[in-house]
Amino acid sequence: MKTLQLLNKAAAQLHCRNIISNRLDSEILLSKVLKIKRENLLTKLDLEIDLEKIVEFNKLILRRSLNEPVAYILKEKEFWSKSFEVSSDTLIPRPETELLVEKLVKIYQKKNINILDVGTGCGCIIISLLSELKKSRGTGIDISKKAINVAKKNARKFDVMNKIQFINISLVNFFSKKFDLIVSNPPYIKTIDIKNLDNCIKHYEPKIALDGGNDGLDVIKKVIYKANEILKYNGLLALEIGNGQFKKVSTLLLKNLYRVEDIVKDHKNNIRCIIARKLF
């Protein structure tokens, strides 16, 4: 079977399972099997594919047809122009989180700071920050030991392990010297709303990294309260939040003597990140 025929068949199979990105996913997965770039694949549509490769590709398409995210199938996701290893123990990095990293890099460029990443997951935030902020150091904590192991692999891959300490610990049990910047992409989805998420999220991504409790703010509150102890005076707290949570989170920050300094909007103009300064 030739490349074009194989792609058409796979895309149709995914389309029948209501996978909107059926063609793109098929191209990405076949590129992986053939070990060539997707753009090169599209110039080889008449290439005859070996049976062994077809069987391997069909196995991946079956997994995708069951709503397993492409990132978990490939065990990688691009973030900040880097290919991060991911697993079912880590959230898949999102574009809005890149926007937060971009904002923080602009704020701290050429400065020497100490960063804490709460709920580090695959380590994409802290690793991306430290790859840009050459003079800075950081710590990533996560309640999941398996997530910490993935983060360590990524830190070694991108040659920043000497600048980062990863600790498998809950935030409430974490005590440390104070930080200049605390950043977190915490769980912020209401428990009741988990069931309404896309199948590829609710059936595959770790629930512990999604479930923000009854109001979606359980972990966000814990981060804000803990930051009172371990964030330096005049330091910044950067939080990713859910769509529609800005008013409640900003009120919470104000009550805890923070001043909202900046916001980050996603590509749909929704406020998705808050950057606040500790006043006392």
CATH number of residue 54's parent domain: 1.10.8
* 43 and 11 within one domain: yes
Mean pLDDT confidence for 204-231 = 96
* 235 and 261 within one domain: yes
The answer as to whether 71 is a domain residue is no
* 211 and 85 within one domain: yes
Query: Which CATH number goes with the domain that contains 97?
Result: 3.40.50.150
**CA torsion through residues 112, 96, 17, 7, sign:** negative
* 203 and 168 within one domain: yes
**For position 280, what pLDDT does the model report?**
83
* 147 and 96 within one domain: yes
- Per the structure, the complete domain to which residue 274 belongs is given by 76-278
Mean pLDDT confidence for 237-259 = 96
**For the segment 61-87, what is each residue's pLDDT rounded down to a tens digit?**
999 999 999 999 999 999 999 999 999
In the chain, the number of structural domains is 2
Pairing relationship of beta strands 179-184 and 114-118 according to DSSP bridges: parallel
**For the segment 130-162, what is each residue's pLDDT rounded down to a tens digit?**
999 999 999 999 999 999 999 999 999 999 999
**For position 78, what pLDDT does the model report?**
96
How distant is the alpha carbon of residue 95 from its chain centre?
8
* 154 and 192 within one domain: yes
**For position 98, what pLDDT does the model report?**
96
The answer as to whether 253 is a domain residue is yes
The pLDDT of residue 223 is above 90: yes
* 155 and 40 within one domain: no
* 126 and 37 within one domain: no
The answer as to whether 31 is a domain residue is yes
Angle at 147 between CA 90 and CA 35, to 5 degrees: 60
* 107 and 14 within one domain: no
* 176 and 40 within one domain: no
* 123 and 31 within one domain: no
* 49 and 96 within one domain: no
The pLDDT of residue 176 is above 90: no
- Give me the percent of the chain exceeding a pLDDT of 90: 97
Mean pLDDT confidence for 12-39 = 96
C-alpha 84/C-alpha 122 separation (Å) is 7
Q: Domain boundary at 66, 95, 120, which?
A: 66
